[in-house]
Amino acid sequence: MVKNFVKNWKKLILVCMSSTLLLSGCGATDNQEKKDDSQIKVESSDADKDKVDSQDEEGDEGFRELTQDELDEFTEFIHGWDAYGFLLSEYVNPVSVDLGEVFYSGAGVQKDMSNEDADAYLAAINESEFQTDCIKVEKSDVEKIVKERLGLSLDEVNVDNIGVYVPEFDSYYHECGDTNYVKYTCVRGLVNGNVYTLDFKADSDIYSSYSSVQTILQKTDNGYMFIANQCLSESTEDAE
């Protein structure tokens, strides 16, 4: 199981690195290019693939399987309101994270709305009343979470999915009638240096597409940054 897990980890890391190099070479800076990033097909060179295969044959020195206590710690971490949403989209580069999922339920930083807030938001969407509850997150809080969890600035990510930005209050607003909160359990993991590859399983199948995911995290001085996330099929889990 560990050998297959390591092999899958190396292949995903290779795709992540290739995607990062491709993006830096293109010099993407605006939102449209960031949206198109998710549609880029990344192809590894034969030399890179041979390198991964060679590493598999040589062994997996440097990789360590996580203990149950460590898995429990990551389970607690992903339960955070500012963490779980990063598992609800697929990406091989942090710029492609769907921030709409991250901030859908407020990411733990939602603020109470004043009457002035409400009037400004309704005016921005040309409506006279709310259809559902409304979430407000201040731009400064969005910026902080994006920096801590992705290592990026707001200029480097697509903020369109967060909601309607109202300059007067420097905040994002969106209406939602429920929550997208998913409770995950970390079921297995490997660490190599400060990089962790973790398999998470949802405690319910409310979002079947993301009921089982593999996530790459990098440990930092402030916690963990999300590097990549992919859905796992049943066949992939069985193979491991």
* pLDDT score of 120: 97
> Are 141 and 204 within one domain?
no
CA distances from 39 to 31, 48, 92, 154, 156 (A): 14, 22, 11, 21, 17
* pLDDT score of 54: 40
* pLDDT score of 111: 97
Closest CA to 149 of 62, 41, 229, 232: 229
* pLDDT score of 61: 60
Q: Which of 157, 176, 195 is the last residue of a domain?
A: 176
* pLDDT score of 206: 75
- Prediction pTM value: 0.76
Structural domain boundaries, residue 150: 104-176
The pair phi, psi for residue 65, each rounded to 5°, is -75, 140
Count of C-beta atoms within a 10 Å radius of residue 32: 10
> Are 64 and 9 within one domain?
yes
* pLDDT score of 12: 55
SS3 176: strand
In the chain (240 residues long), the average pLDDT of successive 10-residue segments reads: 51 46 36 39 42 44 92 98 97 97 97 96 96 96 98 97 97 94 97 97 85 97 96 61
Total domain count, the chain? 2
112: which 2 tokens? 């109470």
* pLDDT score of 109: 98
Q: Which of 161, 176, 191 is the last residue of a domain?
A: 176
